[in-house]
Amino acid sequence: MKKITYFLLFILAWHMGAQQKELSLKDAVLGYYKGLYPKTLRNMQWLKNTDDFLYNDGQQILIKNVDNQVVKKIDLTQIAQGLKDLNRLPYIETATDQDLVFTQGNAKILYDYNTGQTTRINYPEKAQNFDYNPTHKYLAYTIDNNLYLANLDTAQIPVAVFDNKNIVSGQAIARSEFGITKGTFWSPKADKLAFYQKDETNVDDYPLVDITVTPAKLHNIKYPMNGRGSEEPGVGVYDLSAKKTVYLKLFSRAGKEHYATNLTWGPQEKYIYLAEVNRDQDHMWFNQYNAETGDFVKTLFEEKNDKWVEPEHPAFFIPNGKNQFIWLSERDGFMNLYKYNTDGKLIKQLTHNHWVTNDVLGFSKKGKYAFIEGTGKDPRDKKLFKVNMRNGKMTTLTPQSGQHRILMNDAKTLYLDNFSNVDTPRIIYLQDVARKLNTVLLKADNPVKDYNVNPKPEMFSLTGEYGDKIYARLFKPLDFDSAKKYPVLVYVYGGPHAQMNTSSWMGGAPLWMPWLAAQGYLVFTVDGHGSDNRGFAFESVIHRHLGRIEMKDQLHGVDYLKSLPYVDTKRLAVHGWSFGGFMTSSLMTTYPDVFTTGVAGGPVTDWKWYEVMYGERYMDRYQQNPEGFKETSVLNKIQNLKGHLMTIHGYQDDVVVPQHDIALHREAIKKGIQMDFYLYPTAKHNVRGIDRVHLMTKVLNYIMQYNK
């Protein structure tokens, strides 16, 4: 009998070996580099002002036309000097009808693909925050706190240079809240460069320590902590002809420590518009400034809300010659489109969707239609819509359920649709706005089909707090057997501005989740109140007591899990990072009987140590909301801990500073509570690269060790 057993095992092993390679955690974590995420067209983009697009096929850059015919093949190994690794072909940062622009050494290389000539804009080694504009071929960049320009001919031009390191120019301000992603803004004709400035004189230093040098070295960062001194914004405008900078005389009613958000150039370059928000974040003024004099012109309109006002999009000027623009606002509860003119008159609320608009991609030639991205009715989707600018009538251009990531050409007649859903690893379409073209550029195969993992989660909804629908995702093993009992890892984020469960490949999850499922686990995630793409009411119930409602929704998820016959209800673990680390440590200490084990990465543990911009929006200042801060501090609950809780922090974390974590352990020690801790000495808020393999091994080992 023994012999037969061995023979059967051999057959089974051979069978599985042939059909299913065993995925390693390392390969799962590094999956993007290992070809375990769906194939794509790298570096895909439109050439400015053309109907051609390009991508990198691994050997060369292909430029194609609307008929999907190769117009040009460009062998970058012939252009980029000393290139050794085809996988490291330079990334094309800008493509025009003349040049491809990429970085090599300390220069932007402009490769004229018609003549084969290269020219270059050199910059100093320390330069950062590049903003190249092809119109006059100028490159803006920063060095330390200062802003410069360079082009093919000129030496470095100082734009905003201050000895005082507290005056920072040309970088994103307000810690990149309010949709701010950069600090420089070329005017429409590229004759002027507007830029953000911030004065950080009143902002505290936070001491980080670099242990990679001998002796360890202080690395002070500016960190505006809740309720303490914050930055003061400024906006400068450099005129390329006049060679001088004027500064906008910013609106004083919003207070010195206010937010100058969503800088927008008027189409004629004469005016600059700013959505200015007071530090309390409950009042927004949409203001017009004279770009030549810096003078404040007028407030066009205002928005107020007892909870918060959060402009996240610039004004979108309609190319109809009528000084009209679209303003995106949540004032009716969902992000909708409002047509204004520059007198400040609301002409029309164009859309009345009960779902979220995510962006305006542009307008048809004369402004008859806008093209917008939004969720449509399923908040897990991302779709392209055409909106009639007169009556607001909407057409769905990408009806198939899933996530459509759209790149439109400048004329807004064509688009590249990078599509996936839970069943579709990826399809890239070349499409026209009339939806006739239907060209498939790429259809990716399931990249893990040979492995012992199930990349397709179950996607469903539950009833959350207040009876609202909350969306969930559940990974099961390939060999799932409903007669068995499985332990569960609940992966949580739970905070605003994020959505874990989307209608995309793997439901938006990373590949370690199917890997963990393959170890005999269920991996569950629910997006509760506060999370993204659900509208203002759903998000804003979290105000002033972060975690309270968010935890309730996680418990609704747990209730669901406990209702499943195949869940081992005594073996639930929880893990999350950042806000998810806050949620994990809060859940373990507020509801200590639910989870056996938690791993909280980069956790906020007390909102008084978080930054002003994000933190005061949701929690107000600690002076204004003492009860809320007391309720939500993990330090005040750590004595409740029953299970195993490990916290992990990047020692260079400049988002959730290490104080959160170290002070939590100080409190645990004072109260005699045993916890575990790890740190990643050179990591910032997120642990990346090969360190991430170490991290996920640590996290999942811990969970598998103690969740029993």
Active site residues: 578, 653, 685
Cα distance between residue 36 and residue 458, in whole Å: 20
657 binds a second copy (CB under 8 A): yes
Q: Which stretch binds a second copy (CB under 8 A): 136-144, 207-215, 259-267, 347-355?
A: 207-215
172 binds a second copy (CB under 8 A): no
Q: Which stretch binds a second copy (CB under 8 A): 159-167, 198-206, 477-485, 520-528?
A: 198-206
Read off the tokens for 645: 């809780």
Residue of 71, 407, 442, 679 that binds a second copy (CB under 8 A): 679
Q: State the minimum distance, in angstroms, from the CB of residue 239 to a second copy.
A: 40
Q: Which stretch binds a second copy (CB under 8 A): 258-266, 387-395, 496-504, 653-661?
A: 653-661
3-state secondary structure of 365: coil
Cα distance between residue 258 and residue 489, in whole Å: 41
254 binds a second copy (CB under 8 A): no
Residue of 12, 86, 209, 347 that binds a second copy (CB under 8 A): 209
Residues 19-78 that bind a second copy (CB under 8 A): none
Binding mask 563-602 for a second copy (x = CB under 8 A): ----------------------------------------
Cα distance between residue 428 and residue 222, in whole Å: 42
Task: Indicate the pairing of strand 567-577 with strand 597-601.
Answer: parallel
Binding mask 306-335 for a second copy (x = CB under 8 A): ------------------------------
C-alpha triplet 676, 681, 683: angle, nearest 5°: 105
Which amino acid, 393?
K
217 binds a second copy (CB under 8 A): yes
Kindly tell me which of 212 and 241 has the beta carbon lying closer to a second copy: 212
Binding mask 613-652 for a second copy (x = CB under 8 A): --------------------------------------x-
346 binds a second copy (CB under 8 A): no
Which amino acid, 206?
Y
Helices then strands (H, E): number in the chain? 11, 43
Kindly tell me which of 300 and 703 has the beta carbon lying closer to a second copy: 703
Q: State the minimum distance, in angstroms, from the CB of residue 700 to a second copy.
A: 11
Which amino acid, 142?
T
CA torsion sign, 489 to 490 to 493 to 499? positive
Binding mask 219-248 for a second copy (x = CB under 8 A): -x--x-x--x--------------------
697 binds a second copy (CB under 8 A): yes
Q: Which stretch binds a second copy (CB under 8 A): 9-17, 63-71, 283-291, 675-683?
A: 675-683
678 binds a second copy (CB under 8 A): yes
672 binds a second copy (CB under 8 A): yes
Q: State the minimum distance, in angstroms, from the CB of residue 518 to a second copy.
A: 20
C-alpha triplet 370, 396, 351: angle, nearest 5°: 55
Counting residues that bind a second copy (by CB under 8 A) gives 44
Cα–Cα nearest to 359, from 408, 399, 422: 408
Read off the tokens for 375: 């969720």
Distances (CA, A) of 19 to 29, 59, 139, 453: 22, 31, 53, 11
693 binds a second copy (CB under 8 A): yes
Q: Do residues 525 and 491 make contact, with C-beta atoms less than 8 angstroms apart? A: yes
Q: Where are the beta strands (DSSP E) in 14-137?
A: 42-46, 53-56, 61-64, 70-74, 94-95, 99-104, 107-112, 118-122, 128-133
Read off the tokens for 487: 């332990």
Per-residue DSSP letters for 181-206?
A: --SEEE-TTSSEEEEEEEE-TTSPEE
Torsion of CA 449, 453, 456, 462, to 10 degrees: 180
Residue of 5, 69, 214, 241 that binds a second copy (CB under 8 A): 214
216 binds a second copy (CB under 8 A): yes
659 binds a second copy (CB under 8 A): yes
Residue of 1, 218, 434, 483 that binds a second copy (CB under 8 A): 218
Cα distance between residue 557 and residue 541, in whole Å: 18
609 binds a second copy (CB under 8 A): yes
Read off the tokens for 10: 């051999």
Q: State the minimum distance, in angstroms, from the CB of residue 668 to a second copy.
A: 8
Q: State the minimum distance, in angstroms, from the CB of residue 181 to a second copy.
A: 26
C-alpha triplet 175, 179, 181: angle, nearest 5°: 60
666 binds a second copy (CB under 8 A): yes
Residue of 64, 258, 529, 608 that binds a second copy (CB under 8 A): 608
Q: State the minimum distance, in angstroms, from the CB of residue 203 to a second copy.
A: 10
Residue of 289, 601, 658, 703 that binds a second copy (CB under 8 A): 658
Residue of 87, 115, 212, 391 that binds a second copy (CB under 8 A): 212
Distances (CA, A) of 111 to 75, 116, 118, 271, 409: 11, 7, 4, 34, 21
Q: State the minimum distance, in angstroms, from the CB of residue 446 to a second copy.
A: 29
Per-residue DSSP letters for 307-339?
A: S-----S--EE-SSSS-EEEEEE-TTSS-EEEE
680 binds a second copy (CB under 8 A): yes
Q: State the minimum distance, in angstroms, from the CB of residue 661 to a second copy.
A: 9
Q: Do residues 247 and 236 make contact, with C-beta atoms less than 8 angstroms apart? A: yes
Residues in contact with a second copy by CB under 8 A are 204-207, 209, 211-212, 214-218, 220, 223, 225, 228, 608-609, 651, 657-659, 662-663, 665-666, 669-670, 672, 674, 676-682, 690-691, 693-694, 697-698, 701
